[in-house]
């Protein structure tokens, strides 16, 4: 049966693959640039395809090779990354580029790729399979969902990953790993969606246990939703004529190394009542309410004066960009 699934899935992929700027089309048998594959995989971690699609070309235009990226100042890379979130990825991207240049190019095995900064199990498997055609079992959240529904697994994904891995190994066995990975990702993103799966379009529906159950969207079951903790903080708006005072956040921690409005450390708990202008931003593990207070003087702070008419060039992450928009409005 796995062979029939492989044939059906790969045929569907070759007919309906998404056209993405970092992707080689099905059947491409020429050389592949591992730099493009690696860059896309890092950018796509925790960031939507739609967002990355608009930013990928900008990165390639500015840094067309891994050598160019390795030679770029880290501050330039952090500024270009603004708005993509999970900013540790940008620092790891820079460190990884420098490591790759030092070793003379990307390694082509999962084991060697995992030794590079910012490359975990999933990314190593994806790069090895897609860029180098190596056998690998590539599993992201889309693939997990497809596998769980195909077999109607009745436990949440996070508690059933060992079983999902074994079933995925079986599906990948003997297939071209790069195309199989992209076929499963496309299926999960466009047809086997978390809600309202389009089972009538799925090439695996006749062999899918979740579809046979009559309620495919109930698989895999979702774990109980956790309450997201609240935090609050203050940012200082220090303006002098047509310039704004900015600082750089510490290299470690949230928004590490990014340009920001100055202010004290954030605190746990719900924000106290206050009439000041504020913005609310939801991070992965907590929600933050940031109030903005005007100040006249940056004494005791290390930073720089940035022209307000070029604020879009400062590389402010979304939290501080929204705070600036509120104040300027």
- Which amino acids are annotated catalytic? 41
Give the helix ranges, DSSP H, for 104-155.
110-113, 121-132, 141-150
- 186 Cβ contact partners less than 8 Å away, ≥ 6 residues apart: 13, 16, 17, 18
263 vs 290: CA distance, rounded Å: 10
- 14 Cβ contact partners less than 8 Å away, ≥ 6 residues apart: 26, 27, 179
Output the CA torsion 304→284→99→59 (10° steps): -70
2 vs 323: CA distance, rounded Å: 52
Check: CB of residue 189 under 8 Å from CB of residue 254.
no
251 vs 91: CA distance, rounded Å: 9
Check: CB of residue 183 under 8 Å from CB of residue 146.
no
Secondary element (H or E) of residue 281: strand 277-282
245 vs 251: CA distance, rounded Å: 19
305 vs 298: CA distance, rounded Å: 10
């Amino acid at each position: 049966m796995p062979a029939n699934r492989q044939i059906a899935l790969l045929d569907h992929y070759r007919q309906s693959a998404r056209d993405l700027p970092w992707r080689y089309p099905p059947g491409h048998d020429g050389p592949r640039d591992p730099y493009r594959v690696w860059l896309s995989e890092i950018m796509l971690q925790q960031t939507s395809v739609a967002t990355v699609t608009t930013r990928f070309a900008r990165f390639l235009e500015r840094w067309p090779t891994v050598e160019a990226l390795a030679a770029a100042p880290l501050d330039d890379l952090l500024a270009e990354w603004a708005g993509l979130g999970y900013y540790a990825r940008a620092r790891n991207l820079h460190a990884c580029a420098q490591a790759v240049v030092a070793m003379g190019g990307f390694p082509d095995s999962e084991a060697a790729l995992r030794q590079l900064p910012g490359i975990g199990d999933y990314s190593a498997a994806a790069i090895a399979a897609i860029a180098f055609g190596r056998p690998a079992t590539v599993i992201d959240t889309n693939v997990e969902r497809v596998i769980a529904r195909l077999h109607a697994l009745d436990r949440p994904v996070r508690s059933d990953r060992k079983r999902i891995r074994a079933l995925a190994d079986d599906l990948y066995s003997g297939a071209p790993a790069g195309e199989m990975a992209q076929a499963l990702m496309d299926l999960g993103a466009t047809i086997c969606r978390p809600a309202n799966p389009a089972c009538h379009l799925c090439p695996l529906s006749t062999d899918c246990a979740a579809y046979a159950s009559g309620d495919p969207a109930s698989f895999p079951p979702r774990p109980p939703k956790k309450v997201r903790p609240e935090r609050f903080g203050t940012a200082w708006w220090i303006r002098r004529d047509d310039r704004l005072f900015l600082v750089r956040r510490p290299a470690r921690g949230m928004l590490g190394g990014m340009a920001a409005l100055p202010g004290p450390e954030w605190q746990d708990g719900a924000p106290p009542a206050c009439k000041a202008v504020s913005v609310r931003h939801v991070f992965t593990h907590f929600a933050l309410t940031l109030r903005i207070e005007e100040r006249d003087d940056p004494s005791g702070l290390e930073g720089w004066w940035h022209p307000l008419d070029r604020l879009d060039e400062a590389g402010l992450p979304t939290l501080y960009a929204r705070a600036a928009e509120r104040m300027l409005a």
